[in-house]
Structure 1
Amino acid sequence: MAVETQLESPMVGSTLKLDSRPQTPTTRQFPSTASIVLIGSRGAGKRTLGFIGATHLGRRLVTEDYFFQQATGISRGDFLRRYGNREFYRRNVEVLRQMLEEHRTGCIIECGMGSLSNQAQKALREFSKTNPVIYVTRAKHRIRSLLRLSDEESARLETADMSHRSCSNLEYYNLYDPSCDGIDTPPENGLGSNSSRLKYVKEDFSNFLDFLTGQGVIRTSLESPFSIAALPPECRSHTYALSLRLSTIPDLDLDQLEAGADAVQLKIDMWSADLQTIMSKQVANIRRKLGVPIIFHVEDYVFGESSLSTVEKERAYFELLECGLRLGVEYLVADLKYSSDRVAHLVRSAGPTKIIGHYLAREENSWGWDDDNRMIQYRKAQSLGCHIVRFVRATSKPSDNDTVRDFLKKVEYIPDRLPVIAYNLGEHGRPSLIANRIFTPVTHPLMQTTISKAKVRQFLPTAAEAVQALYQSRILDPLHFFHLGASVFYSLSPAMHMAAYRVCGMDNDFRSLQVSSLEHIQQICQDPSFGGAAITQPFKVQTMSRIAAKSYHAKAIGAINTLLPLRLLSNHQSLDGSMHSLLRQANQRGKAGRIVAYYGDNTDFIGIMTCIRRNISPRNVVQPSKTTGLVIGAGGMARAAIYALIQLGCRKIFLFNRTVEHAEEVALHFNAWASGLSSDGKVVHVLRSAREEWPTGFRQPTIIVSCVPARSVNDEAPANFEMPLQWLQSPSGGVVVELAYLPLDTPLLKQIRMVREETQQAWVIVDGLEVLPEQAIAQFELMTGRKAPKRRMRMEVLENYHRYE
């Protein structure tokens, strides 16, 4: 018989039941094609998430209701009425097992409430040994409101729903999406036109699935070595982790905490009867509001002064770590003072989560940095399979900052070494925090004013203070950045980048300069303190011939919008254009020095692709065999738009430009590059006249991107294009992206609003002010190697736009 331990916490007087039975070994390392099962309460949003997940991963959506009807010939309701409860539950389990067995790969499977029976949960528990089974949960009051339940019905449903944790290996908290304000239809009643407004839910769940399936890694494999997506934070220099306590998050406005941190260290420091749900919700909040990896860290004092034995406390500790793994956090801290067997099991069951082996000396005299035991501990973490090792020591002696530096130098000589985090705690340990290169814990100015001093470590620097210290010690140099083009007087780039520098504590500057030739650009960019440039019309294509190395994206597009310097690092380091050589350059981005060549990249397509993906409805999601895209223009931005559509999976793209020869040149470029992506070898087709009928055999476009310049450049006409009405006949509407933003309400957008009103077609409009910061955010990260303060950059556009109206 199982023995349960009642864990009592003096903090809140609540209990957690810990089953002492040996746990079945759990793995979260699944084949990339393994089918994903969604279970949970009615009203949790499983059907909507299933549709989002299926379209994002390109999988088939299988619903239990539909499969039941296919297997039995009648609906579940009719079956229940005809054959009664007993036969219904028996047949329901049979059908569930059949559904799981027949769809082990390539599907998203949504389970109905049949998953509440013991036999169904037994089948799901077995399935979870080979496949992801995700328990979807949601705020109680949301479910109650959506289903219009009484207090008694709500409590009954909640109690039954908790059993889903026992037959799942992952958990996802479905946060409410404010883009759905005003929508009263429960999401489980189908998608319809409402789901086009689920912007944040789509982004949240898609990112969760990317991490789970490894698709995120595949997508970043083509990134340039200068992209922060190309290397995980532990492989970059001077990365920061914002330290947040679980108990303080309700007192914080997470939107305001974006400040250049590369991760959030979530410290579990409280106890509650529904702790798992609280952790699940706050992990979801951090992901949505801050969009950075999470380091899950259970503090020792979470157990308070409980009467637990050492064995019971260890079991409780690893139960909480298991909760972290269920939430799919990117990093998890494991204290290596506990059983090596338990840590090794944790590593084996972690899946894509990386384990940080942790050594902490709270007492100053417990161990020193120059003790040989540090290397023994390092090797132990390595032998257990930890991905990173962290040493933290309390100190009151400034000299300990020298010894920690000496320890790190020893580690540098170890072949195939683990990334090491090492610093001292306390007011005298601050220099070691500044010198630490990986996941340095930092605080935020707002936390210092809104959270009680007892709950904020006063010795922690903010991320901006830590970066400022790197400038003061000359580890980083102030650099000059530019926006270069023929007409940049209305540019919002300086406002965005300068605001980001201030937030991140950087001493750089950013200016717009009008240039007349490539020679003029080269003259500006030869300064040893040149950090990078945003390139605009008409030089995006021309500059390609003057650079030594290009990203995969820039080569495919045939145009750049980001120019970075390549420096002579030392007499022994050659500049050969290889990945290794470029990675060395990327790690020296913050240093001035002699420039010997240039690197080109393109972030325009990122802004376009991000906005299309965010705003397109699931009904119009890209399907290679059906979706048609339309691009207006034939310059550098049009090239980026075509590439964005190809990246999204569109294989039927039409291009219209006033000068047909320019359009044909662009089409020829992409049809040569993407010849293998279409059955006839032709992805891009040229529309020769706006008076032509839409080509037969092709659906009307559901994605339209206008790339006509906002102002006249080199005698090119400004953004005064309107669409022939015959091209706007998509019965499901679509998304229209307008890149021009001066004026913001272009003739095209006025036309689309009129068509939308007259036809009631679901056209979603994305204006230039939404696209602009998305490409600038990616550009900032390429130029600096730092995580961009996205919210601040977006706000800066809105606050400064009126100056140019």
Structure 2
Amino acid sequence: MSVTTQLEPTLAFLDTRPPPSTRDFRPDASIVLIGCRGSGKRSLGFIGATHLGRRLITEDHYFLEATGITRGAFYQQYGSQDFHKKSFELLKRMLDENSAGCVIECGMGSLSAPAQKVLYEFCKTNPVVYVTRESERIRSLLRLGDEEASRLEAADLAHRDCSNLEYYNLYDESCDGTETPPENGIGNVSSRLKYAKEDFSSFLDFMTGQGVIRSGFESPFSINALPPEMRSYTYALSLRLSTIPDLDLVELEAGADAVQLKIDTWGPDMQKVIGQQVATIRRNLGVPIMFQVEDYAFENTQLSIGEREHAYFGLMEHSLRLAVEYILVDLKFSSDLISKLVRSSGRTKVIGHHLHREENSWGWDDESRMIQYRRAKSLGCDMVRFVRATSKPHDNDTVQEFLSKIEAMPDHLPVIAYNVGEHGRPSLIANRIFTPVTHPVMQTTVSKSQIRQFLPTAAEARQARYQIGALDPLHFYHLGASVFYSLSPAMHTAAYQVCGMKNDFQSLKVESLEEIQQLCADPNFGGAAITQPFKVQILSRISAKSYHAKAIGAANTLLPLRTLSNAKPWDSHTQTLLRHANQRGKAGPIFAYYGDNTDFIGIQTCLRRNLSPRNAIQPSKTTGLVIGAGGMARAAIYAMIQMGCRKIFVYNRTIEHAETVAQHFNSWASGLSIDGEIVTVLKSRDAPWPSAYRQPTMIVSCVPARSVGDQAPANFEMPMQWLGSPTGGVVVELAYLPLDTPLLKQIRRVREETKQAWVIVNGLEVLPEQAIAQFELMTGRKAPKRRMRFEVLQNHYRYQE
């Protein structure tokens, strides 16, 4: 087969009508999902509506409500012509009447030409997302023959012309069955679509800007509080499209802040191939994507220069449809083409890219670079990247002089600048934004011709900064009255090793706040995980608190605030705290402390991941139950409130403690203009469940299975009259020593006897989720999640009875 013949399916997309490129929407603009049968639109619509707190509208249901009969029955009764006319009329009305605050799922009606014209116009004001997935998966789900599958696939491609965004619905392994393999001897019933929930929710957060809005409430020390280009020394794992099939992406966690996806090959169905790999990177690594099309992607094609340029911008436009976070556009192209790309970029940030691949006499002090910088800024680029091949070690000094010159300008753009080649590594180490890095796994599994040998790993780049004194080894602690069984040191120490950090982490038993304060006064103190009974008490010693810690009334994370130049010691404004956050990794005198809470993140993550679609949270109906009244119970209540639950019950053996917690949250909620009381105290285990409320579908036990101090172990079991939910729910047990608690044994018995779909989440699943968030607060670096979860499972056996 000739090269031209192989490229025909790919070149076809260059000749179609230009798809809508508008991607600036009102935050509440309704989102429309289109695509063929079997693509998963309905499930994603449900996930999206639940995540965004919006109303879900399906075209089929809208048709039924408007006509009184189903689409199929209408077709049978009135015939094809009237059916298509009515479908078009109702589609247009559905979009016109619900242009804000909804997630709309379009059925087969979107395949007609008139419907696609309406959707094309709707793209000018609203996001219209084309949902696609692996062709073989659709064929299998719908049980299609070859001829029918080919017709459906060809018709489905028309959706690309009437949409402005695209989502590749990657297969979710949690859909293989309802029973997951037992872990640690404990079987589980899992909800379906766990990973699809996380993937699509993140996609929507970026597309709508909700993630940015939410970050305004986050801690200034959260890695989401500042974009990577504003943080100190961030790294981008460099991946070529051609090498991804040879890699197990989950093994590439190593503290990188982004993935630089380089399109280095060209072939049939490039849009779908790229969409699938973007989805795969997001699922396995969970970091922003920088999209770049390499020149040599077209080297083995018969495309003319004009066709190459057209193909280049076609792929760049496609990356914007996929809502990647960053794109790199080569500044060698015309200003008109770059400006057009910038105008259609939406929330994606554009990095102007200037490369001198061959070494020449134009050094970093050449005026041509300043001309390109000014041009990139005038074109609306958000950043500029300069890369230069060199064999002269002296150029590593001149690149810093070039950066200093730009940074002295008012309102300057963030600039990435480094040398490449054998002598370029010092400039890579010194570069502050998105330094390209490789990974140890790639160095052993990918051909040497396919990776840049001069690139450091993220760990190597970070270790080099310790060597020059730009980073200091710091001490971290887990402090509490009973920490002998703590798995935190194993998790954090392993994470430090993976990320190339020279910190240490240890658990220490403490008996007072004074003892905590004395330990944390060390100039090399980096942070502490605070556990019972000090989570509430520690607030009295904290000068600045995150929004979450204030709302919960407890902190499980203590961070140092060090003296900054040009900042008053008592200044706790967000901008000043962001400056403190960018100083993490440096030792020095401590004048105050910052408090945050990650316990709620661990609980919220596990609840959201395991809550089935049947039990999706409805504020007016869903009921939650929390057992306990300590710091973890407060975090559990807050997690449920954050998820939208407005009817939460709390039970504790000491009723006064439960009432104190309920009063705290009800008072907090009233300040947010939330009507009625959110938290109610259950005063007796023997009382029937309150008849005015549904049975709980979210239950979190926050009581220890072992004694702590002078408190007796809880050995808690649920009264059977509280386990009447006909749809089951999620039971989260925070205790993990012993792992198989009386409560979990009880829920498995109930599940077996009643056949209700109760999902069990044990303490070993919750623990790493809060620790991952804690690691990122303490270090400002992306946590190696997989490694931290692995360490929990590997080390818990030491504490088994």
1:135-154 alignment runs, 5 A limit: 135-154=130-149
CA contact (8 A) 1:611 1:766 kept: yes
CA distance in 1, matches of 2:665, 2:629: 12
Q: What's the offset of the Cα at 1:69?
A: 2.1
CA distance in 2, matches of 1:88, 1:622: 36
Partner of 2:96, secondary structure, is helix
Partner of 2:760, secondary structure, is strand
Q: 1:126 aligns with which of 121, 145, 154?
A: 121
1:447-486 alignment runs, 5 A limit: 447-486=442-481
1:14-25 alignment runs, 5 A limit: 15-17=10-12, 19=14, 23=18
1:108-257 alignment runs, 5 A limit: 108-182=103-177, 196-257=191-252
Q: What's the offset of the Cα at 1:581?
A: 2.1
CA contact (8 A) 1:719 1:740 kept: no
CA distance in 2, matches of 1:602, 1:638: 12
Deviates more, 1:77-86 or 1:99-108: 77-86
Amino acid at match of 2:319: G
Amino acid at match of 1:430: R
Partner of 2:744, secondary structure, is helix
Partner of 1:17, secondary structure, is helix
Q: Is residue 716 from structure 1 mapped to residue 737 from structure 2 by the alignment?
A: no
Q: Which residue of 2 aligns with 1:320?
A: 315
CA distance in 2, matches of 1:55, 1:24: 29
CA distance in 2, matches of 1:17, 1:302: 18
Q: Which residue of 1 aligns with 2:182?
A: none
Q: What's the offset of the Cα at 1:37?
A: 1.0
CA distance in 2, matches of 1:692, 1:677: 32
CA contact (8 A) 1:295 1:330 kept: yes
Deviates more, 1:444-453 or 1:146-155: 146-155
Q: Which residue of 2 aligns with 1:188?
A: none
Q: 1:669 aligns with which of 664, 668, 689?
A: 664
Q: Which residue of 2 aligns with 1:767?
A: 762
Q: Which residue of 1 aligns with 2:93?
A: 98
Q: What's the offset of the Cα at 1:100?
A: 1.7
Deviates more, 1:378-387 or 1:688-697: 688-697
Q: Is residue 580 from structure 1 mapped to residue 599 from structure 2 by the alignment?
A: no
Give the RMSD, CA atoms, in angstroms: 2.0
1:603-622 alignment runs, 5 A limit: 603-622=598-617
Amino acid at match of 2:472: D
CA distance in 1, matches of 2:190, 2:519: 48
The number of residue pairs the alignment matches comes to 791
CA distance in 2, matches of 1:339, 1:716: 72
CA contact (8 A) 2:390 2:423 kept: yes
Distance 1:478 1:667, change over 3 A: same
Distance 1:99 1:8, change over 3 A: farther
Q: Is residue 341 from structure 1 mapped to residue 336 from structure 2 by the alignment?
A: yes
Structure 2 stretches lacking a partner, 5+ long: 180-187
Q: What's the offset of the Cα at 1:70?
A: 2.3
Amino acid at match of 2:695: Q
Q: 1:63 aligns with which of 43, 46, 58?
A: 58
Partner of 2:11, secondary structure, is strand
Q: Which residue of 2 aligns with 1:556?
A: 551
CA distance in 1, matches of 2:553, 2:650: 16
Q: Deviations over 1:717-746 (max 9, x none)?
A: 224111111111112211111100111111
Amino acid at match of 1:231: L
Q: Which residue of 2 aligns with 1:190?
A: none
How does the TM-score come out when normalised to structure 2? Answer: 0.96
Amino acid at match of 1:684: V
Q: Is residue 329 from structure 1 mapped to residue 324 from structure 2 by the alignment?
A: yes
Q: Which residue of 2 aligns with 1:502?
A: 497
Partner of 2:635, secondary structure, is helix
CA distance in 2, matches of 1:622, 1:636: 24
CA distance in 1, matches of 2:692, 2:81: 53
CA contact (8 A) 2:189 2:759 kept: no
Distance 1:183 1:520, change over 3 A: closer
Q: Which residue of 2 aligns with 1:657?
A: 652
CA contact (8 A) 1:25 1:349 kept: no
CA contact (8 A) 2:632 2:702 kept: yes
CA distance in 2, matches of 1:248, 1:121: 37
CA distance in 1, matches of 2:511, 2:4: 70
CA contact (8 A) 1:9 1:304 kept: no
Distance 1:156 1:23, change over 3 A: closer
Amino acid at match of 1:270: T
CA distance in 2, matches of 1:197, 1:624: 22
Partner of 2:72, secondary structure, is helix
Q: Deviations over 1:653-672 (max 9, x none)?
A: 11111111111111121111
Q: Is residue 298 from structure 1 mapped to residue 293 from structure 2 by the alignment?
A: yes
CA distance in 1, matches of 2:567, 2:152: 68
Q: What's the offset of the Cα at 1:310?
A: 3.6
CA contact (8 A) 1:11 1:304 kept: no
How does the TM-score come out when normalised to structure 1? Answer: 0.95
Partner of 2:423, secondary structure, is helix
Amino acid at match of 1:17: A
Amino acid at match of 1:604: D
CA distance in 2, matches of 1:528, 1:464: 24
CA distance in 1, matches of 2:614, 2:373: 52
CA contact (8 A) 2:189 2:757 kept: no
Q: Is residue 42 from structure 1 mapped to residue 45 from structure 2 by the alignment?
A: no
CA distance in 1, matches of 2:178, 2:704: 36
Deviates more, 1:777-786 or 1:517-526: 517-526
Q: Which residue of 1 aligns with 2:414?
A: 419
Q: Deviations over 1:69-119 (max 9, x none)?
A: 222332111222223323322332222222222221111111112211222
Q: What's the offset of the Cα at 1:306?
A: 4.3
Q: What's the offset of the Cα at 1:676?
A: 4.4
CA distance in 2, matches of 1:25, 1:755: 53
Q: What's the offset of the Cα at 1:19?
A: 4.3
Q: Is residue 633 from structure 1 mapped to residue 628 from structure 2 by the alignment?
A: yes
1:384-463 alignment runs, 5 A limit: 384-463=379-458
CA contact (8 A) 1:690 1:724 kept: yes
Q: Which residue of 2 aligns with 1:4?
A: none
Amino acid at match of 1:458: Q
Q: Is residue 527 from structure 1 mapped to residue 522 from structure 2 by the alignment?
A: yes
CA contact (8 A) 1:170 1:328 kept: yes
Deviates more, 1:616-625 or 1:89-98: 89-98
Q: What's the offset of the Cα at 1:364?
A: 1.3
CA distance in 2, matches of 1:11, 1:449: 32
CA contact (8 A) 1:574 1:581 kept: no
CA contact (8 A) 2:60 2:71 kept: yes
- The percentage of aligned residue pairs carrying the same residue is 73
Amino acid at match of 1:253: D
Q: Deviations over 1:260-283 (max 9, x none)?
A: 111101101111111100000000
Distance 1:390 1:535, change over 3 A: same
Distance 1:438 1:309, change over 3 A: same
CA distance in 2, matches of 1:585, 1:547: 15
Partner of 1:360, secondary structure, is strand
CA contact (8 A) 2:10 2:270 kept: no
Q: 2:358 aligns with which of 357, 363, 376?
A: 363
Q: What's the offset of the Cα at 1:544?
A: 0.9
Q: What's the offset of the Cα at 1:575?
A: 4.1
CA contact (8 A) 1:575 1:581 kept: no
Structure 1 stretches lacking a partner, 5+ long: 1-6, 185-192
1:4-23 alignment runs, 5 A limit: 15-17=10-12, 19=14, 23=18
Distance 1:411 1:679, change over 3 A: closer
Q: 1:264 aligns with which of 226, 250, 259?
A: 259
Q: Deviations over 1:563-600 (max 9, x none)?
A: 11111234865442222221221111101111111111
Q: Is residue 801 from structure 1 mapped to residue 796 from structure 2 by the alignment?
A: yes
Q: Which residue of 1 aligns with 2:484?
A: 489
Distance 1:162 1:195, change over 3 A: farther
